[in-house]
Structure 1
Amino acid sequence: MTADTIFSLIKDHFTTSLMGIIMLALLFSIAYFLVYKKLLRGTASISIKPTIVTFMLVGYILMVLGVTVFSRGSYYAGSIDLTLFSSYVEAWNEFSVKSWQFVILNIVMFLPLGILLPLLQDRFKHAAWTLAAAILFTLAIETFQYFTGFGVFEVDDLFNNTLGAIIGYGMTMSVLKVRNKRLWPTIGYLSPLLLTLLAFGIVFGTYSLKEFGNLSIAPTKKVNMNETTIILDVFFNGETDSATPVYQVSPYSHAEALEEVKELLINKNIDPHEINEDIYTETGVYTLQSEPYYSVWFEFKDGSYRYNEGLDFEDNVMPKDTDQEILIQKLSEFGITPLDQTNFHQLDTGRYEWTADLLEKDGQLIDGTLTVEYYSDDSIKSIEQSMITYDKVIDKRLKSEQKAFNQLMEGSFYPYAEHYDKIEIKELNVTYVLDSKGFYQPVYAFKSIVDGNELDLLIPAL
């Protein structure tokens, strides 16, 4: 779940939480003023601070339940992940804003619990009580998700949520101790926050010093290979491989992406000022609310995009076959010219694709596909451009093929599964994968038959 999704869910459930607080306040008012004060002639007065904190805590709990439980369908029945810190390893491998947002938001989400509990009752000023409450609350959520299928039971969620509550507890207690002119205990109460910030600082600092980025194909867990049958149809070289190029693609700024979109739509008689721009962490979504409707999903990291033009169903526009020459002519209207060295083939009625498979040209590497859809009104209404040009930056020696195979035998490869019965390795090639810093890194691809299915098992080669 991305930060954008979570913030959207919080916004959606804020009204529900507010209504819950209002209903609680109404019921409390009836119980206190009508029943207790008027009917029972009670004399005790209301303590304002605990009442306000209680209402805030109820609203917070409703918000958390809305985001973590009631915003999902029952898709994860019986799903469980007991590997501690697996979400951190995954975030490290991907090292994107989105991946770290997921980890950090799971911590931040429980800050209010730790902040409010010590203000609610004095017993929660003891760390053990707040810790126990946080563990029980998040354990209840994870258990409910497990049995209902509304989520995955994850040990990392227990850790992150509890850490967030302890940090919140420390923040509240540090303020209370400063008010009581006890300065030194403040450092102790703030230590969970300071240590967490230090840990994240070390992680991000280490990453910034790395020559290349991280690979999302790096395994977060190991496949259990104890009962896996391995059949080899290829010989592996035990020597370190010769120097192999590493390439790089320059990311696009928001302004550069918008200019690319404008160029794409330049022949559509569109006023650029009418383009709606929605910016997310790694993607820009550009739309035009017109007839027809236009949309472009643009990836900032490499400049790949998906262009779509709305279909005119009233005119019964349908996919239509054509030839390569007409497609090239139509693509020129978008400022796109397919390379001569690419492979052209038809995928389906009206759907065509150009493919470049690690094509080297003038110190650059061209890789990926360009897919278009042609329609009966003689227009292209869909373009998927993921044919990217990478610039060579340096030559690097690879680990030996034998070392890569040993890593495969240990179960450290992508894609991950709990267990494979039989792996027949047919061929070993070097391919490329984009890392988190925009470098196109070489990786070993073990072309295999895995439990009857063709599959490339990937291992980082540097």
Structure 2
Amino acid sequence: MDLISVVSGLLPYVKYSVVILIILFVGYFVYRKFFYKQYPIRLSTFVCITLLICWAVVVVGITTLSRPANFTGQVNISLFSGYINAWNKWSLFELQLIIFNMVMFMPLGALLPLLHKKNRLFWRVLVLSLVVTLSLEVFQLLSGKGIFELDDLLHNTVGSLAGYFFMMGIIEVIKQRKLKLAPVVRAIAIPLSFAVLFGIAAIVYEVQEFGNMPFKPAQKQSMEQVHVQLETTLFDQKAGACIYYNEDIRNKKVIKDIAHSIAKQFQLQQVGGLRRESENLSFAFVDAEGTNYSLSYSITNGTWDWYTDHLDENPSPADIKQQRQLIEDWLKKESLLPSEAIYQQQDERTIRWDLAKPENRQTACEDFSEGMIIATLSHQQKPESLFYMISNNEMVAKEPIISQKDAYEALVNGEFSLFNPLQKGDTLTITDVQLTYAYDTKGYYRPVYEFTGSVNDPDFVVAITIDAMQ
């Protein structure tokens, strides 16, 4: 999520709010002319009520109405799971969600004291904020358009209180006609506390040797009444494993350089700037004929793909020899094609280059590259798509790892997550375990155990990853 995405999501509901605002103000002037003497309502009170209605439209729209009903019955009562998730992934996206949930409710806390003097009491604003955000969470749960989360309840309430303290500071300064330290401190206390918290987390993260493992769960998988059946042999010996480093992971300069090179090579015009959506960075392009192209880079593994949304339904044959040469020349010029890559033609429009997998990453302890490049050709002098999945890994250290049995104990204790969580009565059957590798959030390629098996049905295959360096 970036600023453009947030604004794009808010814009439709802001438009509705503006329409409501205009209608209410027109209605107010009619009321002032015909009914004010019988039923007097101050303009300030009316403005506060109107702004609260507009705020409610935007909040309900962005949190429920804009979503499909895909979350039926989902509840997350693990407090602070959002912080753990943001830490494990070291993700700006997850951090933005926390901040956005607080900022979204600041208008509520700021407007309540202006609505009525009784709302200048802390406990009253606290209760009203809890009631409003709890109602929203229950509505999301019942409608299936969101997850009931304690973290959201916390952040929405804290955001409302931040708005309350800020507005009360302004009211106090206006009332006393001079600036005092106490109301200023109260006004900035909540945002300052979170700034300190995030700052400490950033310092801790920077001084630790390796990054965090993104696949680690924010909350443990509940293994209560889940039957785990082991159908493979586990070894108890501990060993050491090589650690590698990939400088392309989470490196914005990499994708910016590729974007510049692609635009120059294929004569494209860049549209807008760098965008972020979850764990992907992206650029948009257009050619002279108006065809749109996109470049998407995954910060988690350093791979990227370039593609067009305009596909030929009846494509004419591509000049494979010529286009292969053009692509190869460009990849070599940008040092993107290793000399040991093996070329092959996959079909009449698809070509690829493959690198052999290293025999034993755990003990070889040598620099290596792995992966592939796949290009789908077109009748134009540029490919329809190009998928770049080559990673260059530099050996940096050797570290002790836990045994397979230790990793299995972590699995039995629920130290993993699945897209579809296990339920009471499920049978998890483990049929194999392998030592493999995964990137952490600093770009280190670290050993992990991957348990494969099934849930209830042999056809319902699952893979569970456990950190081998616990």
TMscore range, shorter length: 0.7 to 0.9
Q: Secondary structure at the match of 1:242?
A: strand
**Shift in Å, 1:188:** 5.1
- C-alpha distance in 2 between matches for 1:224 and 1:172: 43
- 2:86 corresponds to 1:81: no
In the alignment, what sits opposite 2:403? 400
Out of 453, 461, 467, the position equivalent to 1:460 is 467
Question: How far off its partner does 1:338 sit?
Answer: 6.4
| TM score, norm. by length of structure 2 | 0.83
CA deviation after TM superposition for structure 1 residue 58, in Å: 2.4
Judge conservation of contact 2:229–2:428 (CA < 8 Å) in 1: yes
Structure 1 residue 235 corresponds to structure 2 residue 231: no
SS in 2 for 1:65: helix
- Write the deviation string for residues 202-221 of structure 1: whole angstroms up to 9, x where unpaired: 32332222221111111222
Match of 1:102 in 2: 97
Root mean square deviation of aligned Cα: 3.3
- The DSSP-based 3-state class of the residue aligned with 1:170 is helix
Partner in structure 1 of residue 306 of structure 2:
307
Q: CA deviation at 1:294?
A: 4.7
Question: Which residue is equivalent to 1:257?
Answer: 255
Tell me the distance in 1 between the aligned counterparts of 2:432 and 2:141: 41
Give 1:153's match in structure 2, choosing from 148, 151, 164: 148
Unaligned 5+ runs, structure 2: none
Does the CA contact (< 8 Å) of 2:106 and 2:160 recur in 1?
yes
Q: Distance in 2 between matches of 1:48 and 1:378?
A: 65
Aligned to 2:205: 207
Q: Any gaps of 5 or more consecutive residues in structure 1?
A: none
Query: Aligned residue for 1:383?
Result: 386
Contact 1:115 1:171 in 2 (8 A): yes
Cα distance, 1:351 vs structure 2: 4.8
Give yes or no for contact 1:3–1:105 (8 Å, CA) kept in 2: no
In the alignment, does 2:331 pair up with 1:335? yes
CA–CA distance in 2 between the matches of 1:53 and 1:376? 61
* 1:437 partner amino acid: K
- TM-score w.r.t. the length of structure 1 is 0.85
Q: Please tell me whether the aligned partners of residues 254 and 300 of structure 1 are also in contact (alpha carbons under 8 angstroms).
A: no
Quote the Cα distance in structure 2 between the aligned partners of 1:425 and 1:333.
Answer: 47
CA distance in 1, matches of 2:382, 2:283: 22
Choose which of 61, 65, 87 in structure 2 pairs with 1:92.
Answer: 87
- CA apart distance, 1:125: 0.7
TM-superposed CA distance for 1:165, in Å, is 0.6
Alignment of 1:186-225 (within 5 A): 187=185, 190-225=188-223
Q: Would you say the 8 A contact 1:53–1:116 is kept in 2? A: yes
Aligned partners of 2:166 and 2:186 also within 8 Å: no
The alignment partner of 1:200 has SS state of helix
| 1:26 lines up with 2:26 in the alignment | yes
Over 3 Å counting, the alpha-carbon distance change for 1:429 and 1:344 in structure 2 is farther
Cα deviation code 1:383-403 (max 9, x no counterpart): 111222122222222223322
**Equivalence for 1:443:** 448
Q: Which residue of 2 aligns with 1:288?
A: 286
Relative distance call for 1:219 and 1:254 in structure 2 (3 A) is: closer
Q: In structure 1, which of residues 424, 430, 452 is the aligned counterpart of residue 435 of structure 2?
A: 430
What is the CA deviation profile of residues 79-108 of structure 1, one whole-angstrom value per residue up to 9, with x for unaligned ones? 322222222221111112111101111111
Q: In 2, distance between residues paired with 1:357 and 1:3?
A: 41
In the TM superposition, what whole-angstrom CA distance separates every residue of 1:213-252 from its partner, at most 9, and x where no partner exists?
111111222223343132131222243x124223232357
**Aligned equivalents of 1:357, 1:341: Cα separation in 2:** 8
Tell me the distance in 2 between the aligned counterparts of 1:3 and 1:221. Answer: 29
Secondary structure of the corresponding residue to residue 165 of structure 2: helix
Secondary structure at 1:280 match in 2: strand
1:5 corresponds to 2:9? no
Q: After superposition, what is the alpha-carbon deviation per residue over 1:238-290, rounded to whole angstroms, capped at 9, x for unaligned?
A: 43x1242232323576565343234335553x16xx32243124513131143
Query: What secondary structure is seen at the aligned counterpart in 2 of 1:441?
Result: strand
Letter in 1 for 2:235: F
Equivalent pair of 1:263/1:335 in contact (CA under 8 Å):
no
Partner of 1:67: 62
Q: Does 1:120 align with 2:120?
A: no
Deviates more, 1:355-364 or 1:288-297: 355-364
Q: Alpha carbons of 1:101 and 1:376: their partners in 2 closer, same or farther (altered >3 Å)?
A: same
Other-structure match for 1:418:
422
CA contact (8 A) 1:321 1:349 kept: no
Please tell me the residue identity of whatever aligns with 1:461: A
Tell me if structure 2 keeps the 8 A contact 1:233–1:424: no
Decide whether the 8 Å contact of 2:243 with 2:444 is kept in 1.
no
Change (3 A) 1:459 1:114: same
Question: How many angstroms apart in 2 are the aligned matches of 1:12 and 1:158?
Answer: 25
